Structure 1
Amino acid sequence: MVFGRSAHRRAAAVEPVTLKILVAGGFGVGKTTLVSTVSEIKPLRTEEMLTEVGRPVDSLDGVENKRTTTVAMDFGRISLRDDLVLYLFGTPGQDRFWFLWDELAQGALGAVVLADTRRLGDSFSAVDYFERRGIPFVVAVNCFDDADRYAPGVVAEALDLGPGTPVILCDVRERSSAKEVLVSVVEHALATVSGEPEPAST
């Protein structure tokens, strides 16, 4: 009986698997919101107020009400299961902060590229980045209230995505929707690494 209790304690002490996921995309697309929505801890944010000096550099077309911007990263954590924890790293969206991406990408299992159909071209840089480095990613179209809706296949064609790259429609303000995005990127990344087919979507 003593052995049984000891074995149980050892099993209970096993640390969960931790995976690193990047959340990337253009300026004002919802990266900070996604991390904040799903994080089970108080998320770390590195936001600064936008200034008039930055207006020539940071285009506010389509996001005129935006007042802050991430200058380093967002960080959060979510447990998908008792034995699986995701560490989320939201990247800054502006080109002038791209020097941070290489450091943030180290050790990442996969990535989410958030897209806004009003400014779909802003997603090209992130898509190119992960394709060049062979990091599995999904494209998550954040469905803003005043944005046109397009089928995932139309978005995939517009972004010239490689075959098999998932495109998901979501609302990152809703926890269940944002969590579904993260489940999708984990499944896609693990299937890519293992070479096994991904679970059929329901």
Structure 2
Amino acid sequence: MGSATSELPSTRVPLTDAAETGLKIVVVGGFGVGKTTLVRSVSEIRPLSTEEVMTQAGVGVDETGAVQSKTTTTVAFDFGRISLNEQMVLYLFGAPGQKRFWFLWDRLFSGTLGAVVLVDTRRMDDSWYAIDRLEHHRTPFVVAVNRFEDDPTRHSLEEIRQALALPDHVPLVECDARVRESGKDVLITLVDHLYRLAMAREGAS
């Protein structure tokens, strides 16, 4: 897990008017990777969820091979909120994972300051579209590997970085989407990443 602490000193992130009213963060990734679980675990309010029970209409459309126990699916987006300190609030939007709902992603990315790409190592190919769209929109992101207990293999972070062809400057961390503090560490890693990018831009100007 990263070295991020559970609290951010108010001096670490330059607060703009936008930051004082909240930062929009999007959680993306493949189908069944744990996006809804992550939003629910960290949200300090009762999250808005658009999960529906999966029906026969999705047979042959949604790939459930690695998540056969999954009975519900997000059909629009999940929404939650978490305060990292008195001045910084993150508004979280969890994007749907199925290909038939990907057309919603570009709209969700509008106004987004940064993103979390959640990865399931059993289905890393499902992460490519999320990374591609974020790079297309030039949206900064971090990658979080959601570790599952039933994963027969345990790839190292370096192996995962190579498999996803992630540049060295993109943070890559492990998490357990079910655990609030673990999910919070991922979000703090993202905020730290955004801070470093902002400082680098100021230094180059």
Q: Which moved more, 1:56-65 or 1:183-192?
A: 183-192
Change (3 A) 1:151 1:17: farther
Q: Using the TM superposition, give the Cα deviation of residue 17 of structure 1 relative to its aligned residue in structure 2, in angstroms.
A: 4.2
Alignment match, 1:19:
23
Q: Using the TM superposition, give the Cα deviation of residue 126 of structure 1 relative to its aligned residue in structure 2, in angstroms.
A: 0.3
User: How do 1:23-172 and structure 2 match up within 5 A?
Assistant: 23-147=27-151, 148-172=153-177
Q: Deviations over 1:95-131 (max 9, x none)?
A: 1111111111111110000000111110011011111
Amino acid at match of 2:173: I
Amino acid at match of 2:144: A
Alignment equivalent of 1:193, drawn from 193, 198, 201: 198
* Unaligned 5+ runs, structure 1: 1-14, 197-202
In 2, the alpha carbon distance for the partners of 1:82 and 1:42 equals 20
Amino acid at match of 1:101: W
Q: Using the TM superposition, give the Cα deviation of residue 55 of structure 1 relative to its aligned residue in structure 2, in angstroms.
A: 1.5
Contact 1:16–1:82, Cα closer than 8 Å, also in 2: no
Q: Which moved more, 1:94-103 or 1:105-114?
A: 94-103
* Unaligned 5+ runs, structure 2: 1-18
In 1, the alpha carbon distance for the partners of 2:53 and 2:199 equals 43
In 2, the alpha carbon distance for the partners of 1:194 and 1:95 equals 36
> What SS class does the counterpart of residue 81 from structure 2 fall into?
strand
Amino acid at match of 1:181: V
Q: How many residues align?
A: 183
Amino acid at match of 2:187: L
TM-score, normalising length: structure 1: 0.87
Q: Using the TM superposition, give the Cα deviation of residue 53 of structure 1 relative to its aligned residue in structure 2, in angstroms.
A: 2.1
Q: Deviations over 1:55-99 (max 9, x none)?
A: 100011110000000000000000000110000000000111111
Contact 1:18–1:86, Cα closer than 8 Å, also in 2: yes
Bigger relative contact order (CA 8 A; separation at least 6): 2
> What SS class does the counterpart of residue 48 from structure 1 fall into?
strand
TM-score, normalising length: structure 2: 0.86
In 1, the alpha carbon distance for the partners of 2:194 and 2:157 equals 19
Q: Deviations over 1:147-173 (max 9, x none)?
A: 122221111110011231111111011
What is the Cα-based RMSD across aligned positions, in Å?
1.5
> What SS class does the counterpart of residue 88 from structure 1 fall into?
strand
In 1, the alpha carbon distance for the partners of 2:76 and 2:61 equals 17
Contact 1:20–1:88, Cα closer than 8 Å, also in 2: yes
Amino acid at match of 1:162: P
Q: Using the TM superposition, give the Cα deviation of residue 16 of structure 1 relative to its aligned residue in structure 2, in angstroms.
A: 3.5
